[in-house]
Amino acid sequence: MPDHSADPIAGWIAGIDAELADFLSARRGLLATVGVETDALAEEAAQAVAGGKRLRALFCLAGWQAAGGHPADTRAWRSAAALELLQASALVHDDLMDGSATRRGRPAAHRTFEQQHVAAGWIGPRTRFGAGAAILLGDLLLTWAHELLRSSGFDQQVSGRAAPVFDVCTTEVTAGQFLDLVSQASGTGGEDLAMRVMRFKSASYTVVRPLQLGAALAGGGDDLMAGLTAYGEPIGLAFQLRDDVLGVFGDPERTGKPAGDDLREGKRTVLLARTYERSDAAGRALLDRCIGNASTDSTDIHRLRELMTSTGALTSVEQTIAEFEQRADRAAHSLAQTTADTAVRTTLDTLTAAALQRSR
């Protein structure tokens, strides 16, 4: 068992990683009974959950702690780990829909399956095989997420409290992803739609629902749920705004994705909406030509960055992030007073920093 007392967050991460490793090892054995062909599927499943900050699982354990749950309860770790399988499923599908080449510095799952097709000398289009295999992998990871939550070791009453939160979480992230597809396909660049995509595709399922899941497992009441939501909503929104900024201005060595991919893919972010709103005719012409255009080159990306900076759109988004962080800080202070547990405030402060203080 990881040492939780020395560094609580590090102890949680080690516990989550151990639960994921045990679960995936057992499922690899189950897949093996189907045939050796499934080795590639098992390997990509392991790669899909490798790395990352484990933020969703950590926020789940923060909710568990706030509701009085013991921080070293392995049942809570297993439940929290289910969120990492959900996240892995969403990323596999997201990369396929966006046509992304990489994820966390390695080939995206559909690209890896394409390479397998080529290396084996199989017939038919490699892209069709890669897409089909990635869809199946994402579906499998989603199935496993529900399975891991059900098998975490809690009794039926506790599981019954948690399951509805997890179900809403999976529905929201799927609906949010569909909104993202609609916004890209329609070319709708307004801030209202961008905010709704951000809220449901990422913010809610990254922070709010994980907090609520952990609290539900520990039997948290309505007042605590309201307090966690008051903290989680601004943190979740700020997290996604920071992610959108990194998608344009981030260092690929740190983000694991080529800089400017979000622009080439046509992601309709708040940053993009505010840039368009503040641009003159020439700036809007540049945006119309480059956004959602796979041929947009590094020179165009540089010009788009300059436009986002010169119009004040980037500064505006940074200010909004700061405002959300201030709201969350006030809510975290209230939560700490409500729970009368200083460790709760320490945990939330640590996770706030991990979510928002990411360098470019």
- Using alpha carbons only, what angle is made at residue 253 by residues 249 and 254, rounded to the nearest 5 degrees? 70
Q: What is the pLDDT of residues 51-73, one digit of tens each?
A: 889 999 999 999 999 999 999 99
Which domain CATH number covers 131? 1.10.600.10
Which residues have a Cβ under 8 Å from the Cβ of 77 and sit 6 or more positions away? 12, 15, 16, 18, 19, 57, 61
Residue 95 CA to residue 89 CA, distance in Å, equals 10
Share of the chain above pLDDT 90, in %: 79
Cα 171 to the chain's mean position, in Å? 14
Confidence of residue 8 (pLDDT cuts 50, 70, 90): confident
Q: What is the pLDDT of residues 193-233, one digit of tens each?
A: 999 999 998 889 999 999 999 999 999 999 999 999 999 99
Q: Is residue 2 part of a domain?
A: no
Among residues 228, 255, 225, 169, which one has the least CA distance to residue 351? Answer: 228
Alpha helices in 99-189 (DSSP H): 109-120, 126-150, 156-186
DSSP E strand stretches across the chain? 102-103, 106-107
Residue 4 has pLDDT above 70, yes or no: no
- Terminal C-alpha separation, the chain: 35
Q: What is the pLDDT of residues 133-184, one digit of tens each?
A: 999 999 999 999 999 999 999 999 999 999 999 999 999 999 999 998 898 8
Report strand pairing: 102-103 vs 106-107. antiparallel
Which residues have a Cβ under 8 Å from the Cβ of 38 and sit 6 or more positions away? 31, 32
Residue 92 has pLDDT above 60, yes or no: yes
Q: Which domain holds residue 123?
A: 8-356
- Number of folded domains that form the chain: 1
Q: Is residue 25 part of a domain?
A: yes
Q: Residues 274, 313: contact at Cβ < 8 Å?
A: yes
Residue 55 CA to residue 265 CA, distance in Å, equals 25
- pLDDT (0 to 100) of residue 359: 56
Tell which wins on pLDDT, 256 or 318.
318
Q: Is residue 3 part of a domain?
A: no
